[in-house]
Amino acid sequence: MTSSLNYLMCAPDHYDVDYVINPWMEGNVHKSSRDRAVEQWQKLYGVLKGLVNVELVTPAKGWPDMVFTANAGLVLGDKAVLSRFLHKERQGEEPYFKAWFESKGFTVYELPKDLPFEGAGDALFDRAGGWLWAGYGFRSELDAHPYLAKWLDVEVLSLRLIDNRFYHLDTCFCPLADGYLLYYPPAFDSYSNRLIEMRVPAEKRIAIEEADAVNFACNAVNVDRNVVMNKISDGLKQRITKAGFTVIETPLTEFLKAGGAAKCLTLRTVEVPITSEQADLEPSGVEARIVELTGHLLDSGIINRALDLVTDNGGSFQVLEFNLGEQRQSTSLARIRISAPSHDLMETIMGELIEIGAVLQDRDTSDANLEPVLQDGVAPDDFYVTTIYPTDACVDGEWIRCTNQRMDAAIAISPDGKTATCKLLRDLVVGDRVVVGYDGVRTVRKPEARDNAKKEEFSFMGAGVSSERRVELVVEQIAWELRQIRDRGGKLVVSCGPVVVHTGGAPHLAYLIREGYVQSMLGGNAIAVHDMEQSSMGTSLGVDLKRGVSVKGGHRHHLKVINSVRRYGSIHKAVEAGFVKTGVMYECVKNNVPFVLAGSIRDDGPLPDTVMDLLEAQRLYSEQIRNADMILMLSSMLHSIGVGNMTPAGVKMVCVDINPAVVTKLSDRGSVESVGVVTDVGLFLSLLVQQLKKLDSPVAIAA
């Protein structure tokens, strides 16, 4: 023995693969050789006896995994944190390990019974920095980490495991002497990898390949400059040796069948507490909050979505309460404790939970945090970013509903604290008080909006049931809603691109405007240019739409139209002068339907009416969208996404485009109350007008 270190092992007297609680056990139940396992364990025991003092705990019959003593607990100084096993197949080991720790004079700390933590399998001390690397994701819960920090008085760095083959931290992560680290990066999420890279210098990180990882190369025992491990590749052996370590290989294939190797089979029971210089480090970055969700949580899938986004962002959860609605129309309630390994990740998780309607319960009456704007057009750091959903801010104990609701804005509170307004960054001025963080903020989601979690998307010329009929069905529904909006004096806003003209849809859109279905039109320079080109010259982009052939010199037609309208001074004046006699723009002028044309860098001309000031165009768009009941988006991804970002919840949006990516893109921007129709926009408008004419026709009554 060359070291004063102590290790705990357990003879494999009762070892076998009796059940399946990890991927390695799949297909290996009762397929382990007892004799070979004993032989391999004895070789490991002999190697370690030559390096350290090894103590043994008596194996207990019925608990075959007791041989993996790394999971007995975690030791620091005279303190031992007893494991709380996740699976019932190992929970019976706990009293035996507790008795051993107490017999050796350790002060034993026990976690709550419903809080899994699997000892040194998921908690490893850094050999240079003094902090504790703690894993979570499969066997140990993140909520156990603050207990470790408190009881052991040590800084805890939480690492999330994402590959179930590496279900314990020690299967893919091995801190070595002098601050070196042997690890398999793909086993961790991106945040954990960044944390590792921040703490361990690049020259001391030994990242391994999958071939070595699945041989549990990281499941090694490090004693001074010796690394005891299962067989590894020559390349990895050379890298470890180059770092100044001696590699001692000993085969442990029988234990790999149960998901363990050298480190799993040992527990280091002599760990020196951190030095006084390290004692001022943050004990744990773990934060915990409680949120409440109400609504049709199961039918809408909102509860699964909430839990998934927690884990996808590196957090963990515990469902504290779940009350299921007794009838179909009844709402459900869930109270969930959310934990995150850092404040930044908690901010991300809370922001996304609030977006789907979660309410912070632990501080739901606390005021929102307000910070002043110190520079025009610049919000304070960590300002709350709004969504399309109605949002409340708590000021002086009172919830205030935000006005001008839209996504991607800040919340500005008036000086008297009586009003809250969604403001774009450019509209913020010095002195505004802006909400920062997520405390004192809640969004309001209607149950029917939650039921709409899965977007309707109708595909033309798709497989299965006649997709043409599917388009007809959705057109019938949209036509009925348009009729209702018009008859009650509501507001339909149309956002469209030049494809409307190219596909022959302009006459149908003109019909909608003429018959009073459209109250506002939004587009770009091109829709107006090509509409008036068709009206005055019979072409669109130089193509005769009736014959479908290019006209000689037609590529110049749109420029001639632009030039003529510029001569008249505006589209209105061109219509009044008789230059434009039909079409979309003609009907807008004649029926006093306001329109806004937003310019872009690619525009020819542009037309006198085209707004080339981007910020002014956004403002004018926003004004036209206000109080809309429905927005019909016709083949213009740029304008559709822009309009979607400005539109609050409660406004139905119908997006029509031949490209499925455009339809789904709208949903990706958070515009959830939408219907997507993947079809030719000209065909859609033709079907829509046909259906409206049917609704407008008197019903024949048989004699």
Which residues neighbour 43 within 8 Å (Cβ) at sequence distance 6 or greater? 250, 251
Shortest CA distance to 180 belongs to which of 108, 95, 275, 247? 247
Q: Which residue has the tokens 């006005």?
A: 403
Which residues neighbour 221 within 8 Å (Cβ) at sequence distance 6 or greater? 7, 48, 227, 228, 229, 262, 263, 266
Sort 187 into a burial class: Cβ within 10 Å, 0-12 / 13-18 / 19+.
Answer: buried
Helix 343-355 to helix 302-312 angle (10° resolution) is: 160
Shortest CA distance to 120 belongs to which of 77, 75, 181? 75
Which residues neighbour 172 within 8 Å (Cβ) at sequence distance 6 or greater? 161, 163, 166, 183, 184, 187, 188, 213, 218
What is the edge-to-edge ordering of all strands in the sheet holding 226-229?
221-223, 226-229, 246-249
496 catalytic? Reply is no
Shortest CA distance to 427 belongs to which of 445, 409, 443? 409
The DSSP symbol for 377 reads T
Instruction: Kindly report the three-state secondary structure assignment for every residue of 586-631.
Output: HHHHHCCCCEEEECCCCCCCCCCCEECCHHHHHHHHHHHHCCCCEE
How many angstroms separate the CA atoms of 526 and 356, rounded? 37
Long-range pairs for 134-139: beta carbons < 8 A, 24 or more residues apart: 134/158, 134/159, 134/169, 135/159, 135/160, 135/161, 135/168, 135/169, 135/173, 136/160, 136/161, 136/316, 136/341, 137/161, 137/162, 137/316, 138/164, 138/167, 138/168, 139/85, 139/86, 139/167, 139/168
296 catalytic? Reply is no
How many angstroms separate the CA atoms of 606 and 612, rounded? 8
Residue type, 334: A
Q: State the DSSP string of 208-249.
A: --HHHHTTTTTS-EEETTEEEES---HHHHHHHHHTT-EEEE
Catalytic residue among 10, 145, 168, 558: 168
How many angstroms separate the CA atoms of 33 and 570, rounded? 89
How far is C-alpha 438 from the geometric centre of its chain's CA atoms?
17
**Which residues on adjacent β-strands are paired with residue 73?**
82
DSSP H or E stretch at residue 56? strand 53-56
Q: Which two tokens stand for residue 188?
A: 């961790």
Which residues neighbour 252 within 8 Å (Cβ) at sequence distance 6 or greater? 40, 44, 216, 230, 260, 261, 262, 265
Sort 417 into a burial class: Cβ within 10 Å, 0-12 / 13-18 / 19+.
Answer: middle
How many angstroms separate the CA atoms of 211 and 282, rounded? 36
Residue 366 in 3-state DSSP? coil
Shortest CA distance to 41 belongs to which of 253, 227, 307? 253
Polymer length of the chain:
703
DSSP H or E stretch at residue 484? helix 467-487
532-560: burial string, b at 16+ Cβ within 10 Å, e else:
bbbbbbebbbbbebeeeeeeeebeebbee
Neighbours of 389 (CB within 10 A): 23
List helix spans (H) across 50-109: 88-91, 94-103
Catalytic residue among 172, 174, 218, 264: 264
Shortest CA distance to 5 belongs to which of 96, 98, 131, 125? 125
Residues noted as catalytic: 168, 264
